């Protein structure tokens, strides 16, 4: 079996790339980076494994945070939430966990399993259930392809833990988890039902930890070479530039455990005179110009600082920021008919079908470090 043992520079790259893939949500990646770095500085290690190296019957848990990112940056994790969740599920199921995986690679949730993995000496699988971030629990390729709705665990920083032992659907699980999250103060740690190694191999979005690293590396290399990081990102992802402009209005509120609102951007340079509106539910969902929808879920709408390529999350947005909006094709697993029922525009209440005008998605590849 090949391992990729993470270094601090790796974590910087993964955090940067996860921030880009987070499409504005998934939790603040800077905080996630600090928490994983702290694990390394305390002498622990984070080892990543490829999905192909999972035993077919491996017992795998998907970990991550749930809630409103605007709250998550003020009410931070305590650090042992994942350990408590995992132990609660081990006790409830009577099985030992073999590996952990991110429900979503986007934002701090791409890093969240690494904290628990470092503390418990477990490997992190180089894959996830979204290839990006989405606001709701059931919006993973895991649930889309039949992951059980239970048992799932919610834990907070103060020590509260609840287990959903029966949920009639993944949507009902989302409702119960969201309600518990609000009761816990609008952020919490979630662990969904156990999955087998075989299931992860079939339905996980593959090599997304590697993909995040590659995107982060692309931006860092462009900066070092005094090249445009936005152009470098577009070249690397097969994405397209939707807008270069200035944030001219931010409407944002916390509602029912989510950050909701919209963002107005006013074009600069080649985009002078144009205006774009981006709608938000934790993540950037839809980019419109007048009546025209330029990009939509599940394709990725990423907003980065125009100078540095640093991803800007929904809770960081404010008037005057100079940003570039990049659309990136969603992974193939999110574009199937069955997936679009859960993550297409209609799943978010929009009255139109998904139009994949951004070309074919690129397959993410494992990083070279596996062979080191």
Question: What's the full length of the chain, in residues?
Answer: 372
How far are the Cα atoms of 29, 107, 218, 223, 228 from residue 308, in angstroms, in the given order? 16, 17, 12, 7, 8
Residue 45 or 166 with smaller CB distance to a copy of itself: 166
Considering CB under 8 A, how many residues would be counted as binding a copy of itself?
24
Find the part of the chain contacting a copy of itself (CB under 8 A) among 175-183, 213-221, 296-304, 348-356. 175-183
**Positions 90 through 149 that interact with a copy of itself (CB under 8 A):** 92
Which of 13, 132, 178, 310 contacts a copy of itself by CB under 8 A? 178
Q: Measured from the CB of residue 73, what is the shortest distance to a copy of itself in angstroms? A: 23
CA distance 19 to 17: 5
Q: How crowded is residue 56: how many other Cβ atoms within 10 Å of its Cβ?
A: 10
**Positions 154 through 173 that interact with a copy of itself (CB under 8 A):** 155, 158-168, 172
315 DSSP 8-state letter: G
Residue 160 or 266 with smaller CB distance to a copy of itself: 160
Picking from 321, 281, 283, 316, the residue whose alpha carbon sits closest to that of residue 299 is 283
Residue 105 or 190 with smaller CB distance to a copy of itself: 190
Contacts of 12 (CB under 8 A, 6+ apart): 33, 216, 220
Which of 16, 66, 124, 184 contacts a copy of itself by CB under 8 A? 184
Picking from 57, 50, 56, 122, the residue whose alpha carbon sits closest to that of residue 85 is 122
Residue 5 or 168 with smaller CB distance to a copy of itself: 168
189 scored as a contact of a copy of itself (CB under 8 A): no
31 scored as a contact of a copy of itself (CB under 8 A): no
Cis bond before residue 336 (omega within 30° of 0): no
CA distance 322 to 303: 10
Which of 40, 58, 182, 326 contacts a copy of itself by CB under 8 A? 182
Find the part of the chain contacting a copy of itself (CB under 8 A) among 181-189, 276-284, 312-320, 339-347. 181-189
180 scored as a contact of a copy of itself (CB under 8 A): yes
CA distance 118 to 95: 20
Q: Measured from the CB of residue 180, what is the shortest distance to a copy of itself in angstroms? A: 6
255 scored as a contact of a copy of itself (CB under 8 A): no
195-196/59-67 β-pairing: antiparallel
251 DSSP 8-state letter: E
- Which string of x and - marks every residue 54-93 that binds a copy of itself (by CB under 8 A)? ------------------------------x---x---x-
360 DSSP 8-state letter: P
Residues 150/174, Cβ–Cβ less than 8 Å: no
CA distance 53 to 49: 7
Q: Measured from the CB of residue 148, what is the shortest distance to a copy of itself in angstroms? A: 14
Q: Measured from the CB of residue 240, what is the shortest distance to a copy of itself in angstroms? A: 40
CA distance 330 to 334: 6
Residue 159 or 290 with smaller CB distance to a copy of itself: 159
Q: Measured from the CB of residue 109, what is the shortest distance to a copy of itself in angstroms? A: 22
Using CB under 8 A, list all residues that contact a copy of itself. Answer: 84, 88, 92, 155, 158-168, 172, 175-176, 178-180, 182-184
């Amino acid at each position: 079996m090949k391992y990729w043992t993470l270094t601090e520079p790796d974590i910087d790259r993964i955090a940067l790339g996860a921030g880009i893939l987070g499409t504005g949500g998934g939790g603040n990646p800077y905080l996630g980076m600090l928490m994983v770095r702290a694990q390394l500085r305390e002498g622990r290690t984070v080892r990543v494994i490829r999905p192909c190296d999972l035993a077919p019957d491996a017992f795998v848990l998907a970990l991550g945070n749930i809630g409103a990112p605007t709250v998550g940056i003020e009410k931070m994790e305590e650090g042992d939430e994942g350990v408590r969740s995992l132990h609660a599920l081990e006790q409830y199921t009577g099985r030992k966990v073999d590996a952990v995986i991110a429900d979503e690679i986007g934002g701090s949730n791409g890093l969240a399993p690494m904290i628990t993995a470092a503390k418990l000496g477990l490997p992190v699988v180089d894959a996830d259930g979204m290839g990006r971030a989405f606001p709701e629990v059931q919006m993973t390729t895991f649930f889309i392809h039949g992951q059980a709705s239970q048992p799932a665990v919610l834990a907070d920083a103060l020590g509260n833990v609840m287990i959903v032992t029966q949920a009639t659907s993944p949507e009902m699980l989302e409702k119960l988890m969201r309600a518990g999250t609000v009761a816990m103060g609008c952020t919490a740690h979630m662990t969904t039902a156990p999955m087998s190694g075989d299931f992860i191999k079939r339905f996980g979005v593959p090599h997304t930890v590697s993909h995040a690293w590659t995107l982060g590396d692309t931006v860092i290399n462009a900066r070092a070479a005094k090249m445009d990081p936005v152009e470098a990102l577009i070249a690397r992802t097969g994405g397209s530039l939707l807008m270069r402009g200035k944030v001219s209005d931010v409407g944002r509120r916390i509602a029912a455990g989510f950050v909701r609102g919209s963002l107005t951007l006013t074009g600069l340079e080649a985009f002078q005179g144009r205006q774009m509106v981006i709608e938000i539910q934790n993540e950037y969902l839809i980019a419109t110009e007048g009546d025209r929808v330029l990009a939509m879920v599940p394709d990725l709408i990423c907003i980065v600082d125009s100078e540095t390529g640093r991803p800007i999350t929904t809770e960081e947005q404010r008037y005057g920021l100079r940003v570039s909006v990049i659309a990136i094709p969603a992974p193939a697993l999110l574009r199937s008919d069955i997936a679009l029922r859960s993550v297409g525009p209609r799943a978010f209440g929009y009255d139109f079908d998904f139009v994949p005008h951004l070309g074919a998605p690129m397959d993410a590849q494992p990083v070279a470090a596996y062979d080191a």
